[in-house]
Chains A and B, each alone.
Chain A
Amino acid sequence: ETGVTQTPRHLVMGMTNKKSLKCEQHLGHNAMYWYKQSAKKPLELMFVYNFKEQTENNSVPSRFSPECPNSSHLFLHLHTLQPEDSALYLCASSQSSGGYEQYFGPGTRLTVT
Protein backbone atom coordinates (compact mmCIF):
# COMPACT_ATOMS: atom_id res chain seq x y z
CA GLU A 1 0.00 0.00 0.00
CA THR A 2 2.31 2.74 -1.16
CA GLY A 3 -0.71 5.00 -1.79
CA VAL A 4 -1.72 5.31 1.87
CA THR A 5 0.78 4.55 4.60
CA GLN A 6 0.21 4.24 8.33
CA THR A 7 2.65 4.19 11.24
CA PRO A 8 3.14 2.44 13.50
CA ARG A 9 1.72 -0.86 12.28
CA HIS A 10 1.45 -2.19 15.83
CA LEU A 11 1.12 -0.30 19.10
CA VAL A 12 0.72 -1.46 22.68
CA MET A 13 -0.09 1.23 25.21
CA GLY A 14 -1.24 1.52 28.79
CA MET A 15 -4.39 3.31 29.75
CA THR A 16 -2.48 6.33 31.04
CA ASN A 17 -0.24 6.72 28.01
CA LYS A 18 -0.48 9.27 25.23
CA LYS A 19 0.35 8.14 21.72
CA SER A 20 -0.34 9.20 18.15
CA LEU A 21 -1.15 7.33 14.97
CA LYS A 22 0.04 8.77 11.68
CA CYS A 23 -1.40 8.44 8.19
CA GLU A 24 0.03 9.81 4.96
CA GLN A 25 -1.48 9.62 1.49
CA HIS A 26 0.47 10.05 -1.74
CA LEU A 27 -2.53 10.12 -4.06
CA GLY A 28 -3.28 13.82 -4.26
CA HIS A 29 -6.60 13.36 -2.48
CA ASN A 30 -8.28 16.00 -0.39
CA ALA A 31 -10.49 13.92 1.88
CA MET A 32 -9.15 11.68 4.64
CA TYR A 33 -10.87 9.34 7.06
CA TRP A 34 -10.27 7.39 10.26
CA TYR A 35 -12.06 4.06 10.73
CA LYS A 36 -12.09 1.63 13.63
CA GLN A 37 -12.27 -2.11 12.93
CA SER A 38 -13.03 -4.40 15.86
CA ALA A 39 -14.79 -7.62 16.69
CA LYS A 40 -18.00 -5.76 17.53
CA LYS A 41 -18.23 -3.41 14.56
CA PRO A 42 -16.24 -4.43 11.51
CA LEU A 43 -15.67 -1.01 9.92
CA GLU A 44 -16.86 2.01 11.83
CA LEU A 45 -16.29 5.54 10.56
CA MET A 46 -14.76 7.84 13.18
CA PHE A 47 -13.75 11.10 11.51
CA VAL A 48 -13.84 12.73 8.08
CA TYR A 49 -11.63 15.58 6.94
CA ASN A 50 -12.16 17.46 3.70
CA PHE A 51 -9.56 20.03 2.64
CA LYS A 52 -8.12 19.87 6.18
CA GLU A 53 -11.48 20.70 7.75
CA GLN A 54 -13.24 18.18 9.94
CA THR A 55 -16.63 17.52 8.41
CA GLU A 56 -17.73 14.55 10.45
CA ASN A 57 -17.26 13.28 13.98
CA ASN A 58 -19.21 10.08 14.35
CA SER A 59 -19.89 10.42 18.09
CA VAL A 60 -16.32 9.48 18.94
CA PRO A 61 -15.19 9.88 22.58
CA SER A 62 -12.90 12.81 23.28
CA ARG A 63 -10.03 10.49 24.23
CA PHE A 64 -9.56 10.25 20.44
CA SER A 65 -8.39 13.54 18.97
CA PRO A 66 -7.77 13.86 15.21
CA GLU A 67 -5.50 16.36 13.54
CA CYS A 68 -5.15 17.13 9.85
CA PRO A 69 -2.32 19.65 9.25
CA ASN A 70 -2.57 19.32 5.46
CA SER A 71 -4.39 17.25 2.88
CA SER A 72 -1.68 14.60 2.84
CA HIS A 73 -1.34 13.91 6.56
CA LEU A 74 -3.76 12.78 9.22
CA PHE A 75 -3.06 12.01 12.86
CA LEU A 76 -5.07 10.36 15.59
CA HIS A 77 -3.94 11.39 19.07
CA LEU A 78 -4.78 8.90 21.80
CA HIS A 79 -4.95 9.49 25.53
CA THR A 80 -6.50 7.74 28.51
CA LEU A 81 -7.76 4.89 26.37
CA GLN A 82 -9.73 1.91 27.60
CA PRO A 83 -9.10 -1.78 26.85
CA GLU A 84 -12.23 -1.81 24.67
CA ASP A 85 -10.47 0.67 22.38
CA SER A 86 -8.17 -2.12 21.26
CA ALA A 87 -8.81 -2.52 17.55
CA LEU A 88 -7.39 -2.00 14.10
CA TYR A 89 -7.40 1.69 13.14
CA LEU A 90 -7.60 2.28 9.41
CA CYS A 91 -6.94 5.47 7.52
CA ALA A 92 -8.39 6.12 4.08
CA SER A 93 -8.37 8.89 1.51
CA SER A 94 -10.46 9.88 -1.48
CA GLN A 95 -11.13 12.71 -3.84
CA SER A 96 -13.38 15.30 -2.30
CA SER A 97 -16.21 15.41 -4.77
CA GLY A 98 -17.62 12.66 -6.89
CA GLY A 99 -14.90 10.39 -5.53
CA TYR A 100 -16.61 7.73 -3.56
CA GLU A 101 -13.75 5.25 -3.95
CA GLN A 102 -11.72 5.30 -0.78
CA TYR A 103 -8.17 4.00 -0.65
CA PHE A 104 -7.18 2.41 2.63
CA GLY A 105 -3.89 2.08 4.43
CA PRO A 106 -2.81 -1.18 6.08
CA GLY A 107 -3.95 -0.07 9.52
CA THR A 108 -2.45 0.22 12.99
CA ARG A 109 -3.23 -2.64 15.35
CA LEU A 110 -3.69 -1.04 18.76
CA THR A 111 -3.72 -2.95 22.02
CA VAL A 112 -4.61 -1.10 25.21
CA THR A 113 -3.45 -2.83 28.39
Chain B
Amino acid sequence: GESVGLHLPTLSVQEGDNSIINCAYSNSASDYFIWYKQESGKGPQFIIDIRSNMDKRQGQRVTVLLNKTVKHLSLQIAATQPGDSAVYFCAETLVYNAGNMLTFGGGTRLMVKP
Protein backbone atom coordinates (compact mmCIF):
# COMPACT_ATOMS: atom_id res chain seq x y z
CA GLY B 1 0.00 0.00 0.00
CA GLU B 2 2.90 2.42 -0.19
CA SER B 3 2.75 5.36 -2.53
CA VAL B 4 4.07 3.77 -5.69
CA GLY B 5 7.22 5.48 -6.90
CA LEU B 6 5.97 8.92 -5.93
CA HIS B 7 8.38 11.81 -5.77
CA LEU B 8 6.85 13.39 -2.71
CA PRO B 9 7.92 16.33 -0.63
CA THR B 10 9.71 14.92 2.38
CA LEU B 11 9.80 16.19 5.93
CA SER B 12 12.55 14.76 8.09
CA VAL B 13 12.32 15.28 11.84
CA GLN B 14 14.08 14.05 14.92
CA GLU B 15 12.20 11.72 17.23
CA GLY B 16 10.53 13.76 19.95
CA ASP B 17 10.28 16.94 17.91
CA ASN B 18 7.00 18.35 16.64
CA SER B 19 6.08 17.93 12.97
CA ILE B 20 4.00 20.25 10.81
CA ILE B 21 2.68 18.98 7.49
CA ASN B 22 1.02 21.47 5.18
CA CYS B 23 -1.58 21.16 2.48
CA ALA B 24 -3.16 23.61 0.06
CA TYR B 25 -6.67 22.66 -1.02
CA SER B 26 -8.45 23.67 -4.17
CA ASN B 27 -12.18 24.10 -3.63
CA SER B 28 -13.36 27.00 -1.50
CA ALA B 29 -16.78 25.29 -1.28
CA SER B 30 -15.40 22.17 0.43
CA ASP B 31 -17.07 21.51 3.76
CA TYR B 32 -14.94 18.75 5.27
CA PHE B 33 -11.22 18.20 5.37
CA ILE B 34 -9.53 15.00 6.40
CA TRP B 35 -5.98 13.87 7.04
CA TYR B 36 -4.95 10.34 6.15
CA LYS B 37 -1.79 8.44 6.99
CA GLN B 38 -0.43 5.76 4.68
CA GLU B 39 2.23 3.42 5.99
CA SER B 40 4.25 1.17 3.77
CA GLY B 41 2.21 -1.85 2.68
CA LYS B 42 -1.09 -0.46 3.90
CA GLY B 43 -3.96 1.60 2.60
CA PRO B 44 -4.58 5.14 3.85
CA GLN B 45 -5.83 5.37 7.44
CA PHE B 46 -8.02 8.15 8.83
CA ILE B 47 -6.28 10.41 11.35
CA ILE B 48 -8.43 13.46 12.01
CA ASP B 49 -10.97 15.66 10.31
CA ILE B 50 -12.23 19.21 10.53
CA ARG B 51 -15.33 20.93 9.26
CA SER B 52 -15.18 24.24 7.44
CA ASN B 53 -16.87 26.13 10.29
CA MET B 54 -13.91 25.36 12.56
CA ASP B 55 -10.34 26.58 12.43
CA LYS B 56 -8.74 24.13 14.84
CA ARG B 57 -9.35 20.64 16.09
CA GLN B 58 -7.24 18.54 18.40
CA GLY B 59 -6.86 14.80 18.69
CA GLN B 60 -4.44 12.58 20.46
CA ARG B 61 -1.01 14.09 19.70
CA VAL B 62 -2.39 15.65 16.52
CA THR B 63 -3.88 19.04 15.74
CA VAL B 64 -5.41 20.17 12.48
CA LEU B 65 -5.55 23.84 11.58
CA LEU B 66 -7.72 25.26 8.82
CA ASN B 67 -7.22 28.65 7.21
CA LYS B 68 -10.04 29.19 4.74
CA THR B 69 -8.79 32.60 3.70
CA VAL B 70 -5.77 31.10 1.99
CA LYS B 71 -7.22 27.59 1.55
CA HIS B 72 -4.57 26.02 3.72
CA LEU B 73 -4.68 23.02 6.00
CA SER B 74 -1.99 21.80 8.35
CA LEU B 75 -1.42 18.75 10.50
CA GLN B 76 0.69 19.11 13.61
CA ILE B 77 2.06 16.01 15.28
CA ALA B 78 3.42 16.46 18.78
CA ALA B 79 6.41 14.47 20.05
CA THR B 80 6.89 12.66 16.75
CA GLN B 81 7.65 8.96 17.05
CA PRO B 82 9.24 6.48 14.62
CA GLY B 83 5.80 4.95 14.13
CA ASP B 84 4.64 8.24 12.64
CA SER B 85 6.88 7.68 9.61
CA ALA B 86 4.49 7.45 6.68
CA VAL B 87 3.00 9.42 3.81
CA TYR B 88 0.35 11.91 4.88
CA PHE B 89 -2.47 13.01 2.59
CA CYS B 90 -5.01 15.74 3.05
CA ALA B 91 -8.41 15.34 1.44
CA GLU B 92 -11.37 17.62 0.91
CA THR B 93 -15.00 16.91 0.22
CA LEU B 94 -18.27 18.66 -0.33
CA VAL B 95 -21.22 17.42 1.68
CA TYR B 96 -22.47 14.72 -0.66
CA ASN B 97 -25.11 12.30 0.37
CA ALA B 98 -24.70 9.44 -2.07
CA GLY B 99 -21.21 8.45 -1.08
CA ASN B 100 -18.74 11.18 -0.33
CA MET B 101 -16.22 11.98 -3.03
CA LEU B 102 -12.85 12.82 -1.58
CA THR B 103 -10.27 14.82 -3.51
CA PHE B 104 -6.79 14.03 -2.25
CA GLY B 105 -3.73 16.22 -2.19
CA GLY B 106 -0.33 15.06 -3.39
CA GLY B 107 0.98 13.79 -0.06
CA THR B 108 4.01 14.46 2.13
CA ARG B 109 6.45 11.82 3.28
CA LEU B 110 7.36 12.12 6.97
CA MET B 111 10.61 10.50 8.04
CA VAL B 112 11.38 10.29 11.75
CA LYS B 113 15.00 9.90 12.73
CA PRO B 114 15.59 7.97 15.98
Contact = CB atoms under 8 A, between A and B. Distances in A.
B43 A92 contact: yes
A64 B100 CA distance: 21
Overall SS of chain B's interface: loop
B96 to A, nearest CB: 8
B104 A104 contact: no
Contact of A43 (B45, B49, B89): B89
A101 B7 contact: no
Interface residues of A, number: 35
Given A42-B106, A49-B99, A55-B99, A87 B41 contact: no
Contacts of A42: 3, 6, 8, 89, 104-107
A58 B52 CA distance: 25
A42 B49 CA distance: 20
Interface string B20-32: 0000000000001
Given A1-B43, A90-B44, A101-B46, A43 B99 contact: no
A39 B43 contact: no
A16 interface: no
Contact of B98 (A39, A55, A105): A55
Interface of B: 1-8, 32, 34, 36, 41-46, 49, 89, 91, 93, 97-107
Given A39-B4, A50-B98, A104-B44, 11 more contacts: A1-B42, A31-B99, A38-B5, A39-B5, A43-B44, A43-B91, A48-B101, A92-B43, A102-B46, A105-B43, A106-B41
